[in-house]
């Protein structure tokens, strides 16, 4: 089985994405997760470019990685310095990593315009830099920046840059589609030409500006590349780098290449979501393999077929990448959807029972009113429990009041008071918040946590409001979707009303009741 080495550059190239800024602690935690995933090389950053990356490499000297080789990134030496005195090269050595990755110019356009040196001088910079680092006993990965664009303009010169790195003893030569404009059939042809002249193991570094980074990467491996550089979730400048969450399972499951262990592959979804969380980005629900919708089925015919054999509508078993099958419920749902969800929740429904018919009827009525259960499976489980007579309210609302006060100095004060009864015991409390919904959420939790301490582990992770009838203006009904999670699970709930506070109340109550009632599933 062919072995492909995975090189992750989330902490450097991925961090260059618009809106991304990892803290030092974030970088350390992500590096640990990548190591646990079985990544072979983790590019920690560019120690010659900023103080944070210098501190990162200092911190990592005290940490032991089990699977990965920590890699420092930089450029070839500058024209005015010899390699031993170049500040960038010295910073690479000071980082203390056993592996360094340096990039050099392959495109004559960049040599003349960006570097402002002669074509011959550029070859000297590449060879000197690689040779010097090899003398310092480093494993050297040479990234041929803009190689495919350079090859298209002047193949002879592009080859000379690779040959300079090869003469100097580079351990890897990685061909970079830096602008992301190469098409798979072009890449395939160029890779074949490179393999005729270059004997050093090759790698691929693809960007996604044409939406082809994954296709180009798989093509490169098919043509002999043995190293793949990319990022988790495809983070990166402009349209991003190639997404390792797509590349790894395609290589391993579909192409029979050895990348990481089976047990590690089953953690891919977890790592994808972890990186999204630290990047402060919503996880892409439709991301292949690891997205929440990757193995979600909505149409009744699809669900019926998947129940008989998942291969009918799934290209792999979701568990292979740590994901899971989801059956959605909507106005398009048939009895198969209801029965599947009931089984998932441990509820016993026969196909033609009155309860099944009632759940389906209630579902379609509520969705006609504006409810949406695709992202609100917590509310749907409560709906089924009510239809089966297995629902018991864990508290009774006596009443609540929400006030919003705009003061003369411009400050805004929001407060909610609430009175509930739990098994005959009355609790009356108040809380403030950033807004009326936050104040109501705080007051409800404050009232219930004394009776149900497990609610302290629940946190709100998403809150969405959708106007359902734009023609009605501010009098329009709204749908509120709430997503919450505890240490083990996440769930969604929904509420609909012409009053945003009432819609939010419905979703918040369902969210907390779902958490409490799930302990009593039968």
> Is 492 part of a structural domain of the chain?
no
Contact between residue 57 and residue 85 where contact means Cβ atoms under 8 Å apart: no
Tens of pLDDT, residues 82-101: 999 999 999 999 999 999 99
Percent of the chain that is helix, strand, coil (3-state, to 5): 45, 20, 35
Which burial class, exposed, middle or buried, applies to 28 when counting CB atoms under 10 A from its CB (0-12, 13-18, 19+)?
middle
Q: Which residue shows structure tokens 């501190």?
A: 55
Going by the DSSP 8-state scheme, the letter that residue 113 receives in this structure is: I
Average pLDDT, the chain: 91
Select the more confidently predicted residue: 219 or 491: 219
368-392 confidence digits (pLDDT tens):
788 877 667 888 888 888 877 778 8
Q: Give the residue, 159 or 364, on which the prediction is more confident.
A: 159
Longest dimension (CA), the chain: 87
Does residue 330 have a pLDDT over 70? no
Last residue within a domain, chosen from 260, 289, 313: 260
Backbone angles phi, psi at 406, to 5 degrees: -100, 115
CB 161 within 8 A of CB 150: yes
Q: Is the pLDDT of residue 347 over 80?
A: no
Q: Could you tell me which residues are beta bridge partners of residue 421? A: 396, 426
**Within-domain flag for 298:** no
Examine the fold and report which residue of 451, 469, 492 is the final residue of a domain before the chain moves on.
451
Instruction: List the domain range (segments joined by +) for residue 178.
Output: 5-260
Domain presence at residue 103:
yes
- The stretch 310-334 carries a mean pLDDT of 83
Q: How many CB atoms lie within 10 A of CB 106?
A: 30
The CATH number covering residue 105 comes to: 3.20.20.70
Same domain, 213 and 69: yes
DSSP bridge partners of 229: 7, 205
Higher model confidence: residue 521 or residue 281?
Answer: 281
Tally of domains within the chain: 2
Tell me the pLDDT tens digit for each residue of 155-179: 999 999 999 999 999 999 999 999 9
Confidence of residue 521 (pLDDT cuts 50, 70, 90): very low
59, pLDDT greater than 50: yes
pLDDT value of position 203? 98
For 495-505, how does the pLDDT look when each residue is reduced to its tens digit (9 = 90+)? 999 999 999 99
Average pLDDT over residues 196-207: 98
Asked if pLDDT for residue 219 goes beyond 70, the answer is yes
Inside any domain, residue 503 = no
Long-range contacts of 502-505, Cβ-Cβ distance < 8 Å, separation of 24 or more: 503/465, 503/477, 503/478, 503/479, 504/437, 504/440, 504/463, 504/480, 505/400, 505/440
pLDDT tier for residue 23 given thresholds of 50, 70 and 90: very high
Q: Of 433, 451, 469, which one is at a domain's C-terminal end?
A: 451
Task: Please report whether residue 296 resides in a domain.
Answer: no
> Rounded to whole angstroms, how far apart are CA atoms 359 and 347?
12
Examine residue 369 and state whether it is found in any structural domain, yes or no.
no
Assess if residue 313 is contained within a domain.
Answer: no
Of 29-33, 44-48, 327-331, 437-441, the poorest mean pLDDT is in 327-331
CA–CA gap between residue 225 and residue 372 (Å, rounded): 46
294 pLDDT exceeds 90?
A: yes
**Average pLDDT over every residue of 272-282:** 86
Question: What letters, b where the CB count within 10 A reaches 16 and e where it falls short, cover 487-516?
Answer: eeeebbbbbbbeebbebbbbbbbbbbbbbb
User: Sorting pLDDT into bands at 50, 70 and 90, what band is 520?
Assistant: very low
**At 430, which CATH number?**
3.30.160
């Amino acid at each position: 089985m062919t072995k492909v080495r995975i090189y992750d550059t989330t902490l450097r190239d991925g961090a260059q994405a618009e809106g991304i800024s990892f803290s030092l602690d974030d970088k350390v935690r992500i590096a640990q997760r990548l190591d646990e995933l079985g990544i072979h090389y983790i590019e920690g950053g560019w120690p010659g470019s900023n103080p944070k990356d210098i501190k990162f490499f200092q911190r990592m000297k005290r940490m032991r990685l089990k699977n990965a080789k920590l890699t420092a990134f930089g450029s070839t030496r500058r024209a005015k310095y010899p390699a031993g005195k170049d500040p960038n090269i010295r910073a690479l050595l000071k980082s203390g990593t056993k592996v360094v990755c340096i990039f050099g110019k392959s495109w004559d356009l960049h040599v003349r315009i960006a570097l402002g040196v002669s074509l011959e001088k550029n070859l000297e910079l590449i060879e000197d830099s690689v040779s010097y680092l090899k003398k310092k006993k480093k494993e050297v990965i040479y990234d041929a920046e803009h190689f495919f664009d350079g090859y298209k303009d002047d193949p002879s010169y592009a080859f000379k840059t690779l040959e300079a790195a090869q003469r100097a003893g580079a351990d890897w030569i990685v061909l970079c589609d830096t602008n992301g404009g190469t098409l798979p059939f072009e890449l395939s042809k160029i890779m074949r030409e490179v393999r005729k002249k270059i004997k050093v193991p090759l790698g691929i570094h693809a960007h996604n500006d044409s939406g082809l980074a994954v296709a180009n990467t798989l093509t490169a491996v098919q043509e002999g590349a043995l190293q793949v550089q990319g990022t988790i979730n495809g983070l990166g400048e402009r349209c991003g780098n190639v997404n390792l969450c797509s590349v790894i399972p395609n290589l391993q499951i579909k192409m029979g290449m050895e990348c990481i262990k089976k047990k590690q592959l089953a953690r891919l979804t977890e790592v994808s979501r972890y990186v999204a969380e630290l990047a402060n980005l919503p996880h892409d629900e439709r991301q292949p393999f690891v997205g929440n919708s990757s193995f979600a089925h909505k149409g009744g015919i699809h669900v019926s077929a998947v129940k008989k054999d998942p291969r009918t509508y799934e290209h792999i078993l979701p568990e292979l990448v740590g994901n899971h099958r989801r059956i959605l419920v909507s106005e398009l749902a048939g009895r198969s959807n209801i029965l599947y969800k009931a089984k998932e929740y441990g509820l016993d429904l026969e196909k033609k029972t009155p309860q099944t018919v009632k759940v389906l009827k209630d579902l379609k009525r509520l969705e006609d009113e504006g409810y949406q259960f695709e992202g609100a499976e917590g509310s749907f489980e409560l709906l089924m429990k009510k239809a089966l007579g297995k629902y018991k309210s864990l508290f009774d609302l006596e009443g609540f009041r929400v006030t919003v006060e705009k003061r003369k100095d411009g400050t805004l004060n929001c407060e909610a008071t609430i009175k509930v009864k739990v098994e005959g015991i009355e609790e009356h409390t108040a809380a403030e918040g950033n807004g009326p919904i936050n104040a109501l959420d705080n007051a409800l939790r404050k009232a219930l946590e004394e009776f149900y301490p497990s609610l302290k582990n629940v946190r709100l992770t998403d809150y969405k409001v959708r106007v359902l009838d734009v023609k009605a203006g501010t009098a329009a009904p709204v749908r509120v979707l709430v997503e919450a999670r505890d240490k083990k699970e996440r769930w969604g709930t929904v509420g609909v009303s012409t009053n945003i506070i009432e819609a939010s109340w419905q979703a918040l109550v369902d969210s907390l009741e779902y958490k409490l009632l799930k302990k009593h599933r039968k």
